[in-house]
Amino acid sequence: MAELTYRDAVAYGIAQEMRRDPSLVMLGEDIAGAGGVFKTTVGLLDQFGPGRIRDTPISEQAILGAAMGAAMTGIPVIAEIMFSDFLAVCFDLVANEIAKSRYMTGGQVQIPMVIRTANGGGSRFGAQHSQSVENWCMMIPGLKVVAPSTPEDVVGLMAASIRDPDPVVFFEHKSLMASKGQVPDGEVVGKLGEARIVREGSDCTIVALALMVPRAVEAAERLAADGISAEVIDLRTLVPLDTRTFLGSVSKTSRCFTVEENPRLCGWGAEIASIVAEEVFWDLDGPVVRITTPHIPLPAAESLEDMAIPSVERIYETVRKALG
Amino acid sequence: MAELTYRDAVAYGIAQEMRRDPSLVMLGEDIAGAGGVFKTTVGLLDQFGPGRIRDTPISEQAILGAAMGAAMTGIPVIAEIMFSDFLAVCFDLVANEIAKSRYMTGGQVQIPMVIRTANGGGSRFGAQHSQSVENWCMMIPGLKVVAPSTPEDVVGLMAASIRDPDPVVFFEHKSLMASKGQVPDGEVVGKLGEARIVREGSDCTIVALALMVPRAVEAAERLAADGISAEVIDLRTLVPLDTRTFLGSVSKTSRCFTVEENPRLCGWGAEIASIVAEEVFWDLDGPVVRITTPHIPLPAAESLEDMAIPSVERIYETVRKALG
Amino acid sequence: MSIDPDPGLLDYSTRPARLPHPVDPANDNLEISLDTRVRMYELQQVLRQFEKRAYDLFMQNLVKGTSHLSLGMEAIATGFGLALRHDDYTFATYRGHAHTIARGAALGAVMAELLGRDNGILGGKGGSMHLTSVEHGMMGSYAIIGAHLCVANGAAWSAQMRGTDQVAVAFFGDGTTNIGAFHEALNLAVVWNLPVLFVCENNLYMEYTPIDLVTAVRNPAAGRASAYGLDPIVVDGNDADAVYVAARTAVENARRGKGPALIEAVTYRHGGHSRADPGKYRPAGEVEAWMGRDPIPMYHQRLLRLGVPEGQLTSITQDVARRVDEATEFAKAGERPTEGVLMTDVWADGGSAWRN
Amino acid sequence: MSIDPDPGLLDYSTRPARLPHPVDPANDNLEISLDTRVRMYELQQVLRQFEKRAYDLFMQNLVKGTSHLSLGMEAIATGFGLALRHDDYTFATYRGHAHTIARGAALGAVMAELLGRDNGILGGKGGSMHLTSVEHGMMGSYAIIGAHLCVANGAAWSAQMRGTDQVAVAFFGDGTTNIGAFHEALNLAVVWNLPVLFVCENNLYMEYTPIDLVTAVRNPAAGRASAYGLDPIVVDGNDADAVYVAARTAVENARRGKGPALIEAVTYRHGGHSRADPGKYRPAGEVEAWMGRDPIPMYHQRLLRLGVPEGQLTSITQDVARRVDEATEFAKAGERPTEGVLMTDVWADGGSAWRN
Ligand SMILES: Cc1ncc(C[n+]2csc(CCOP(=O)(O)OP(=O)(O)O)c2C)c(N)n1
Ligand SMILES: Cc1ncc(C[n+]2csc(CCOP(=O)(O)OP(=O)(O)O)c2C)c(N)n1
Ligand SMILES: [Mg+2]
Ligand SMILES: [Mg+2]
């Protein structure tokens, strides 16, 4: 066991896989010489050399195109898109090419690549550098979507994503970078499509992801003080989606809350809520409640951003009102 | 009253507004000399001249940038993106610039523009020219989203969209182009944010959009033959969303079905279902059921595409099973 | 406030026709073996007859959806088809029938795909705009402008990393030179010195809009070469020999680690942009003039001048006709794909499950 | 299979420093009124002192989020600031403090925005990366690379359609010349003959990566001009007079309907890319050499040579210091924006309702 920050876990996880597979390469802006703007790739250039860790121009379409073309022809690739907001400048490659090529070609093309990107708010970067856009990728058939909340999951799910033969979009949360956690020694390999029950409970289920997980847990602790027992689930991956775990939990607790950083409309919480409302409707004792960022662009000012993104307080109050 | 095709209604609606506002302009690929690849802009060049109807290079980012910059500085603009799938090549402008600028600038910037685009399946064009991507825009704060199902709504909602001071994405459905309908004489101006009850019913509510509206109506007629009375709602605009109309209907019928062409995950139906499950939960007599295109890229072959997109048969069978 | 009704933009009606240059007689003497030339004649016949048949099947409403023919442009796919090695990579656009066949894909499987049958080369899932045959190095037809130039870089990068001397080639049109991805792809290819060729099939039109109306330079590709430190290369896209020699040279350089090239092959499509289009927007005389520069009769004459007996060419032509008939029968014999395949091949495990 | 550990790409460590050219003494004699020059001295002082203060407030952790300073690059915003008319349009990047102030925005309101206060120029909603002041023709700071070049075209197109002779200017960095939107914007501007200027502030680095490592040509902007039929223009970005003259000429041409220009102003940032960055990746001697070409002391010397009394320059400098102090007080006096404004200004009606 070693304690790592979420930030360091990224390079740690990538290095584990680069040692294992000598053909694995990575490309992106400022990732090599500079070690990444979030310092998540520090040391990789020294360990693996400029042939495998490549700095690129500011050309996101060229980055994802190079990754896709290499992956199609036998070289697994990790491509970094610095901020997830920038997926919009290369969205044709993400949504129309990388995601669809296998199906369109009747299975002729295989694209073993991972798109790593810094996601989420809390850094006061404003509307173009703070978005949570995991729903942008979840909605596209052909993409797998991962968003870890702990250093151990960063390492394990990074390995699982890299070893997965299909394209995976891997969301690293900016506001979790400094958080710490234990990572087992030796090879760490997780599994896509397995949610984690972070905290057991009997009165309600709170489904969360990434930065919302620690907030949901803290809210659950405050609820416990009020005698409300909340079960907290970390989805960890949105595609494949572990519906069994949250459906089982909701069947047990009879109430479901989702906590998402996506702005309200068509966030992943809507998908969870619709699955719950369709498949375990008869087990529900009350409305399915979504807690989301309001449907607005994210403001830059500290005070405003803190009001926009679901807080421990808001989660706590919402559940308490709904159950009290 | 005159009978128009949905296709002709597009140019008809644009012409009405161009006559009314001499500063309104339009740009896009092959829209002027050629009258548009879907022939939706035929005749506009002759009526309004090349100064107001502009052919562009294949440069979607330049198209939306030009539209945004002109709109910001006093010229209302209609920009055509030929196929809605291509919103992906200019998605940074759609999602990060056009949608967010007013908020980011504290209200300094106003962007009166309409993005018109051909949406939806049924033409056997395959995965890159057949998508229904209205959810790509619905999920972005700062965009209004319109998707008419009739010639009259094409004209009326086109006028409403053009006169709206905020950016609107206007989805024209490829498979409705040849459909006909009556359009009132004189100026026709609709209203954004008003759904339409297309067919009254008492046993269940079917919420639909665009091509799914006529299919839902036909399914409702077949259900009527089985003694099931279905109310069919055409949302018409996703943002602003007329929740009153569908919530009122579900409270009355106690059952809700959504029929969407979006692939399953995070489609607009999920948003509707989550609102219903949260706000009229106690009025529900059974699960909220979504009928969607499966979560796959769209296949090209006629036989396969017809299996993928919700059909009258599938709507009918799904509702019947759920209620029977 | 009112907008100037005519800002004086160059417009269709007044636009002069762009006529073809005459064939360069010196091309008879290019260093190309007669055997290669005969194979190029045969390939051009295959492409021509295959697409004429595809067009007929359209008219019989057997081909659904859309399709984009290269009739009149066959010399380009042919010149490159012969210059590439079996393990090189081709990336094409929705106008990709010719490039797919030129790499060796079976005519029947391609025809079946156009007809949306289960014996199609993509099982009916992709259709005319996405023809792919990985076993022949044909890495896909991309229907949204621009992206595939970036993807071709990736295949070339992969070859470079794997230490093979494979070359990747991306074919695209004149209109495609104005999209952002073109710029990003060219710059990265040069910076990384990738073994990739960018081949612009300049047929003078995007869909219906003449390229001159929307492009800052007269040569949409060659006029941009200097922005990447590349040589401006323009070849006669209606002369398979000229194309072949340009391709051979560029391929050789790329194999030897000399990096990318940007080649503009000037040509013309005989028909419209796609099935629906009658091509009315083209000025009087333009189509006729280019018909007079049809690459195939020209090449026929050249081979006669070079001593190939008329009879040999005739039998090639007849043999091709037979193969196209067989391909058509094969395609028509296919079934419409059924439910069973709808949900397959989204993922590497063969399925499409997004949940447990 | 294993990847060649070093494909011999040019890499940081071995990279030679890129040293500044000496000041051109002839620039003393450029045709610029002394009054204009004194105003340029004052503006450079404002930009320098304002951003030094912003940096100090950072260090006191009063500025949250990020911010990108133009310290060392002031001559560019200054030369253009003086050459533009009040109704011209400016489009800048996240590195936009200088361009916003150069158009006349109030120092206090800008400083308050950096501090995230309710008296900020955007009410705290946009922050450092999105400074905008429509009343001054400053149409926004765009934080995602590329798009704003396309948006600037739109403002120029609008001026053209409205028959005004306004000009739009887009400022961007060297790294931005490699993104697709750059190419699309330049091509359309030329095809439509728009009154727009594209000004590349070439400070030799993208964030941390030297521009030479990722660009196919030595001059990231000027080296691309011919691809759009434009003249390659390179100016000394550390000499306000050189920038002013280039700007004046380009603005005049654009006003007269002579169309767009692409101008590369070579400069250097004294600090890191953004708040966090110490700028360690720069080779030994490079920073020092460019510090020796600091645009402000150089300009100070020039004005003395041209007969402006030392005392006048001193009092300007002191006056600016006072204004920056006042701006700081104004900013600190602002409140943190409250709940009331969170949900405003998504729509033109002032609200953010997405439903009834
Ligand atoms: C990004 C994008 N924009 C627009 C289109 C629609 N479209 C399909 S083909 C075409 C014309 C392409 O012209 P060119 O590159 O010259 O190729 P050609 O069809 O002439 O071979 C256009 C605009 C598209 N497929 N993708
Ligand atoms: C599309 C996009 N990619 C990456 C970034 C991250 N980024 C912000 S500034 C920057 C460097 C820009 O370099 P340059 O254009 O030279 O401008 P400078 O910062 O030097 O003024 C990068 C890569 C971004 N904002 N947008
Ligand atoms: Mg063309
Ligand atoms: Mg720079």
Ligand 1 centre to CA of C144 (Å) is 7
Tell me if B65 and D181 make a contact (CB, 8 A cut-off): yes
CB of A6 closer than 6 A to ligand 2? no
CB of D148 closer than 6 A to ligand 2? no
Radius of gyration over every alpha carbon of chain C, rounded to an integer in angstroms = 21
Ligand 4 centre to CA of A62 (Å) is 19
Q: In D, which residues are within 8 Å of C9 by CB distance?
A: 192
Cβ count near D11 (within 10 Å): 16
Helix boundaries (H) for A87-208: 91, 101-104, 134-138, 151-163
Q: State the best of A53, A58, A64 to mutate against chain D, taking most chain D CBs within 10 Å.
A: A58
Confidence of residue C258 (pLDDT cuts 50, 70, 90): very high
Q: In B, which residues are within 8 Å of C214 by CB distance?
A: 55-58
Ligand 1 atom 1 nearest Cα: C145
Nearest to C80 by CA among C129, C47, C126: C47
How do residues A96-127 score in pLDDT, each as one tens digit? 999 999 999 999 999 999 999 999 999 999 99
Q: Which of residues 37-66 of B touch C (CB under 8 A)?
A: 37, 48-52, 54-61
For residues C200 and C267, give the distance between their C-alpha atoms in angstroms, rounded to a whole number.
Answer: 10
Packed helices B6-20 and B151-163: angle between N→C axes, nearest 10 degrees? 30
* Least confident range of B252-266, C265-279, D109-123: C265-279
Bridge partner residues of C173 (DSSP)? C201
Helix boundaries (H) for D103-202: 107-114, 147-162, 180-191
Selecting from B23, B295, B308 the residue whose C-beta is nearest the C-beta of C354 gives B295
For residues B117 and B40, give the distance between their C-alpha atoms in angstroms, rounded to a whole number.
Answer: 10
Total H helices, total E strands in chain B = 12, 14
Check residue D278 and give its pLDDT.
83
Q: Which of residues 139-178 of A touch B (CB under 8 A)?
A: 139-142
Q: Give the chains touching C; criterion: ≥3 Cβ pairs < 8 Å.
A: A, B, D
Q: If 0-12 CB within 10 Å is exposed, 13-18 middle and 19+ buried, where does residue A42 land? A: middle
Q: Kindly report the nearest CA distance between residue D352 and chain B, in angstroms.
A: 8
Check residue D4 and give its pLDDT.
64
Check residue D15 and give its pLDDT.
77
For residues C21 and C26, give the distance between their C-alpha atoms in angstroms, rounded to a whole number.
Answer: 14
How many interchain CB pairs under 8 A, C with D? 83
- Site of tokens 């000009």: D167
Q: What does the DSSP 8-state code read for residue B86?
A: G
CB of D343 closer than 6 A to ligand 2? no
Packed helices C180-191 and D180-191: angle between N→C axes, nearest 10 degrees? 130
Q: Kindly report the nearest CA distance between residue B241 and chain C, in angstroms.
A: 28
| Contact partners, residue D101, CB within 8 Å, separation at least 6 | D43, D46, D47, D50, D77, D107, D110
* Farthest-apart Cα atoms in chain B, separation: 60
Q: Which ligand is nearest to the CA of C273?
A: 1
For residues C263 and D290, give the distance between their C-alpha atoms in angstroms, rounded to a whole number.
Answer: 41
For residues D71 and C142, give the distance between their C-alpha atoms in angstroms, rounded to a whole number.
Answer: 45
State which residue of chain D sits closest to A63, comparing Cα positions.
D179
Q: Which atom of ligand 2 is nearest to the CA of D174?
A: 16
Radius of gyration over every alpha carbon of chain A, rounded to an integer in angstroms = 19
Which of D145, D176, D199 gets mutated to test ligand 2 (max ligand atoms within 8 A of its CB)?
D145
Q: What does the DSSP 8-state code read for residue A199?
A: E
Packed helices D34-59 and D295-305: angle between N→C axes, nearest 10 degrees? 150
* Tokens at A6, concatenated: 């979420």
Is the ipTM above a cut-off of 0.95?
Answer: yes
Confidence of residue C98 (pLDDT cuts 50, 70, 90): very high
Alpha carbon A220 to its chain's center: 21
N- to C-terminal Cα separation, chain D: 61
Q: Give the chains touching D; criterion: ≥3 Cβ pairs < 8 Å.
A: A, B, C
CB of D219 closer than 6 A to ligand 2? no
Q: State the best of C145, C164, C356 to mutate against chain A, taking most chain A CBs within 10 Å.
A: C356
CB of D220 closer than 6 A to ligand 2? no
Packed helices C310-333 and C107-114: angle between N→C axes, nearest 10 degrees? 50
Q: Cβ distance C42 to C311 under 8 Å? A: no
Angle at C266 between CA C260 and CA C267, to 5 degrees: 130
How do residues D323-346 score in pLDDT, each as one tens digit? 999 999 999 999 999 999 999 999
| Contact partners, residue D290, CB within 8 Å, separation at least 6 | D19, D20, D72, D238, D268, D270
For residues B104 and B137, give the distance between their C-alpha atoms in angstroms, rounded to a whole number.
Answer: 18
Nearest to B170 by CA among B187, B205, B192, B145: B145
Percentages of chain B per state (helix, strand, coil), in multiples of 5: 40, 20, 40
CB of C205 closer than 6 A to ligand 1? yes
Ligand 2 atom 17 nearest Cα: D173
How do residues A229-249 score in pLDDT, each as one tens digit? 999 999 999 999 999 999 999
For residues D73 and B68, give the distance between their C-alpha atoms in angstroms, rounded to a whole number.
Answer: 29
Nearest to C145 by CA among B128, B63, B64, A59: B128
Ligand 2 atom 21 nearest Cα: D173
Tell me if D161 and C4 make a contact (CB, 8 A cut-off): yes
Q: For residue A207, what are the CA distances in angstroms to A166, A210, A292, C8, C256?
A: 26, 11, 12, 60, 56
Hey, which bits of A230-313 come out as E strands?
Answer: 230-234, 237-239, 256-263, 289-293
The answer to whether the Cα torsion of D172, D177, D179, D183 is positive or negative is: positive
pLDDT cut 70: percent of chain D above it? 96
* Tokens at D222, concatenated: 């000027």
| Contact partners, residue B258, CB within 8 Å, separation at least 6 | B206, B207, B208, B268, B269, B272, B273, B288, B289, B290, B291, B292
Q: Is A182 on the interface with D (CB under 8 A)?
A: no
Q: Is A186 on the interface with C (CB under 8 A)?
A: no
Q: State the best of B265, B285, B293, B295 to mutate against chain A, taking most chain A CBs within 10 Å.
A: B265
Question: Cα dihedral angle (A68, A71, A75, A80), rounded to 10 degrees?
Answer: 50
Nearest to C213 by CA among C157, C175, C172, C163: C175
Q: Is A259 on the interface with C (CB under 8 A)?
A: no
Q: For residue A26, what are the CA distances in angstroms to A20, A22, A36?
A: 14, 12, 12
- Mean pLDDT, chain C, integer: 95
How many interchain CB pairs under 8 A, B with C? 157
- Which residues of B carry out catalysis? 60, 129
- Residue A278 is a catalytic residue: no
pLDDT score of C318 more than 90? yes
Q: What is the mean pLDDT of residues B164-177?
A: 98
Q: If 0-12 CB within 10 Å is exposed, 13-18 middle and 19+ buried, where does residue A248 land? A: middle
Q: Cβ distance A81 to A90 under 8 Å? A: yes
Q: Is A281 on the interface with B (CB under 8 A)?
A: yes
Q: Is C2 on the interface with D (CB under 8 A)?
A: no
Q: Return the half-sphere exposure (C-beta side, CA atoms, 13 A cut-off) of residue C5.
A: 6
Nearest to D78 by CA among D236, D304, D315, D308: D236
State which residue of chain A sits closest to C347, comparing Cα positions.
A166
Ligand 2 atom 2 nearest Cα: D145
pLDDT score of C137 more than 80? yes
Check residue C9 and give its pLDDT.
56
Tell me if D180 and C179 make a contact (CB, 8 A cut-off): yes
The answer to whether the Cα torsion of B155, B158, B160, B162 is positive or negative is: negative
**DSSP string covering C3-63:** --S------TTTPPP-PPPPP-GGGGGSS--HHHHHHHHHHHHHHHHHHHHHHHHHHTT-S
Per-residue pLDDT for chain D (356 aa), expressed as one digit of tens each? 567 655 555 556 677 889 999 999 999 999 999 999 999 999 999 999 999 999 999 999 999 889 999 999 999 999 999 999 999 999 999 999 999 999 999 999 999 999 999 999 999 999 999 999 999 999 999 999 999 999 999 999 999 999 999 999 999 999 999 999 999 999 999 999 999 999 999 999 999 999 999 999 999 999 999 999 999 999 999 999 999 999 999 999 999 999 999 999 999 999 999 987 888 889 989 999 999 999 999 999 999 999 999 999 999 999 999 999 999 999 999 999 999 999 999 999 999 999 99
Check residue C279 and give its pLDDT.
85
Confidence of residue B254 (pLDDT cuts 50, 70, 90): very high
How do residues A45-99 score in pLDDT, each as one tens digit? 999 999 999 999 999 999 999 999 999 999 999 999 999 999 999 999 999 999 9
CB of A307 closer than 6 A to ligand 2? no
CB of D145 closer than 6 A to ligand 2? yes
Nearest to A100 by CA among C100, C153, C350, C346: C346
Q: For residue A191, what are the CA distances in angstroms to A164, C57, D74, D134?
A: 10, 49, 52, 51
Q: How many residues make up chain B in this entry? A: 324
Tell me if C147 and A75 make a contact (CB, 8 A cut-off): no
Q: In D, which residues are within 8 Å of B105 by CB distance?
A: 122, 125-126, 130, 132, 134, 140
Hey, which bits of chain A come out as E strands?
Answer: 2-5, 25-28, 53-55, 77-83, 113-119, 144-146, 168-173, 180-183, 196-199, 204-208, 230-234, 237-239, 256-263, 289-293
Q: If 0-12 CB within 10 Å is exposed, 13-18 middle and 19+ buried, where does residue A43 land? A: middle
Ligand 4 centre to CA of D198 (Å) is 15
Q: Cβ distance B158 to B17 under 8 Å? A: yes
CB of D275 closer than 6 A to ligand 2? no
Selecting from B99, B270, B281 the residue whose C-beta is nearest the C-beta of A274 gives B270
pTM equals 0.98
Cβ count near B323 (within 10 Å): 18
* Farthest-apart Cα atoms in chain C, separation: 71
